Amino acid sequence: MDDIIVNTSEIKSAIVSALQAADVAINDNEICEIDAASLTDTNAARSAFSALGDRVALLHNVSDAQRQVLYPLLGIQAKGPTPCMLVRPIGGSRGRPCFHIIDVVQFAQSGADVFDRASGIAPSSDAIPPADRQPDLQVAPTIGAPPTLDLAAHFAQAVADVWELPQTISAADGPKEHLWIYTRSTPFYPSGSKGDGYTPPNDQKVTVNISYTFRAFLNDAESGVFQWLYIETLGHMSTDGMKKNDHNNRGWGNGSVHVKVPAPSGVPLFFDASPANTNNEKSVTTTVGFDVGYQTGSLNYSQSQTETIRDWKVIQKTTDSWLYEQSSPFSGDSDKFPDNAIKYNAGKARHEIKSWPDLTTSVFRWSTMSVYRNDHPTDGNVVVSPSVQARAIFMHLRNSWPSWHGYYWWSWRNIDEQFTLDFSVVDKS
């Protein structure tokens, strides 16, 4: 996305409408606009947020410098400017407030828009076409500049999609802990170069929304004094309705998602991660658990999330990385024209692109969970740097009986994050 300058009034109205449409009881007075330019220092930010109480803050045109101003107040900081940011209080722990923050990734690194080609011929048993065979005519789309993003509608929908995320804090007499939730929304318009006179459409928005949950605990029992950090990525990739979905053209669809959650700085010891490899299943369950000891008791913290994975699969490549990809009728992560993508319809004497699964044509959801441990408790900053690569795919087929020629494009975005967490909330003092 290019640099975007916004006014929050339109976005605020869109958010309220989207939440009300999702049956959330909210009105205009519960969302308050804050001019990020007024956040000259942390004291100014603290004063502005204190005046809100439990209401939601909506900021616009937030720079990296303003993120740094907000960091002592929010306890978490992402990187890069954003055209809009929503800060929602979600309770607190031991007098320290917790927040769910939602913003838009303004600059995501674009991968090369690549294509590959293939061809084939009808089976010899079908060498003579039916007498009533009709010509397979196609009209190439008109390609112009990608449309301008409707930021208000996009951001409002992102907020509504994640409003009901779990936000439970343990009881006040439990372990010392803290919760941060940060949702980042990345819209992009995939595109591809011309192949055989055909250029795939470049006016379909694909959206990648990822909610990162960070939960830190201090273990200070007889078992030792150390810190836990739980990291969850809960994401969805949406086609917003494929522009093309017929026997000659399909796309843009969801092809694959690569997720990596490396060891955070300051919390280096790997403990557990999920999910494991899953293929030929209808669903995949992501689950982890660990025990937190504290001076007056213990807590077993566990989380579980089940997502549909029909016709997709997940490969745990390492303890900190996963590949989710379409597995049927072909690999959605392929770097060449995939095998098994084309079928021959003898009744119509034509080749056809096989149908794509629902998770490819509409919305694909995923989750990962990671647990790290720090045996030398810190009260400083911990940096977590997850990364996601989301790939969209498009396929074009040209019939010239008895042969066919196919073209396959893939276009991706690399979303490299850097979150700084204030671990003074779970120090041993």
Q: What is the mean pLDDT of the chain?
A: 89
312-332 residue pLDDT tens: 999 999 999 999 999 999 999
pLDDT value of position 7: 54
pLDDT value of position 337: 93
Whether the CB-CB separation of 296 and 411 falls below 8 Å is answered with no
Q: Burial, 57: exposed, middle or buried (Cβ in 10 Å; 0-12, 13-18, 19+)? A: buried
Structure tokens given for 429: 């003092």
pLDDT value of position 4: 45
Whether the CB-CB separation of 252 and 362 falls below 8 Å is answered with no
Instruction: Report the relative pairing of strands 114-121 and 403-416 from DSSP bridges.
Output: antiparallel
pLDDT bucket at 133, cuts 50 / 70 / 90: low
pLDDT value of position 107: 61
- Matching residue, tokens 């409408």: 17
Supply the pTM of this predicted model: 0.93
66-87 residue pLDDT tens: 999 999 999 999 999 999 999 9
pLDDT value of position 121: 82
258-266 mean pLDDT: 96
Q: How far apart are CA 76 and CA 421, in angstroms?
A: 5
Q: How far apart are CA 295 and CA 66, in angstroms?
A: 39
Residues whose CB is less than 8 angstroms from the CB of residue 334 and which lie 6 or more positions away in sequence, other chains included: 408, 410
